[in-house]
Amino acid sequence: MLREIAGKPLILHTADRANEARTVSRVIVATDDERIRNVVTAAGHEAVLTRAEHNSGSDRIAEVAQSLPERTVIVNVQGDEPVISPVTIDRAVSAMLEQSGPQPPDIVTVFEPIVSANDLFDANVVKVVLNDKGRAVYFSRSPIPYLRGAAIEHRSLELAVAAEPDLLRRFKKHVGLYVYRREFLIEFTRLEQTRLEKCEMLEQLRALENATHIFVVPAAEASIGVDTPEDLEVVRAVIESRGKAAGRSSDGGVS
């Protein structure tokens, strides 16, 4: 979170992106690290120091939510998403506010198309399967759905994707952004961790195992979660490139 990108720590880039969303009225960085809190507050953002023993990001945010007004709509943007699009945040919030009916969403989250075989087979890239109404059926670190016919034809899913790159269109990448109302979040985080959650280390499976309605909307543009040093270098190149383009535009050039 404190690694510098284009002259400022990664966490500040994420906070800035959240602040740019038109549906967001308040940005709070929830952390158990005093160094992060100090960096965030020194930059003019709000930060809350939480307990250290939380099992997930939602648990940490629920601690902060206790002090927020009832019916507050909360957007959980993971701190390692420094290039998350503000438009993506707005899409997710709007889906929460606009959907009604007999089964309104308890959680709204986001997906992006998978465009590379590396992402498909990378366990750090979470995949999601949806039903025809846009509700999440399952999340996994493994490629889902398993394209059995193509895998049999080509002897493995890896060989199938290599031979037919268009198969990648069948897969969706889950983006670590969640929208929920305060009361649901607090109730959800009081539930015991479930078997599948512990198996895959994905807290959203706790929600599915407790019959939660999770709606998944398409991202406005690609984001990059920083899970590895390699991810950090990719994000650094993206942000530095954007900075150079903005500089050229302010000088009268075309960006």
Question: What was the pLDDT predicted at 1?
Answer: 93
Q: What is the pLDDT of residue 210?
A: 96
| Per-residue pLDDT at 248 exceeds 80 | no
Tens-place pLDDT, residues 44-61: 999 999 999 888 888 999
Which pLDDT tens digit goes with each residue over 177-193? 999 999 999 999 999 99
* Helix residue spans in the chain (DSSP H): 10-19, 34-42, 57-65, 86-98, 117-120, 148-154, 157-163, 182-189, 195-200, 204-209, 229-250
Q: Residue 254: pLDDT above 50?
A: no
Q: What is the band of 213 on the pLDDT scale with cuts at 50, 70, 90?
A: very high
Output the pLDDT for position 255: 33
Indicate the pLDDT class of residue 246, thresholds 50, 70 and 90: low
What pLDDT is stored for residue 225 in this prediction? Answer: 85
List the Cα angle 168/133/144 in 5-degree steps. 30
Task: Quote the pTM value.
Answer: 0.89
pLDDT reading at 23 higher than 70:
yes
At residue 142, the pLDDT reads: 97
Q: Name the residue among 160, 174, 156 with its Cα closest to residue 216.
A: 174
- For 92-142, the pLDDT digits (tens) are 999 999 876 667 899 999 999 999 999 999 998 999 999 999 999 999 999
- % of the chain at pLDDT higher than 70: 95
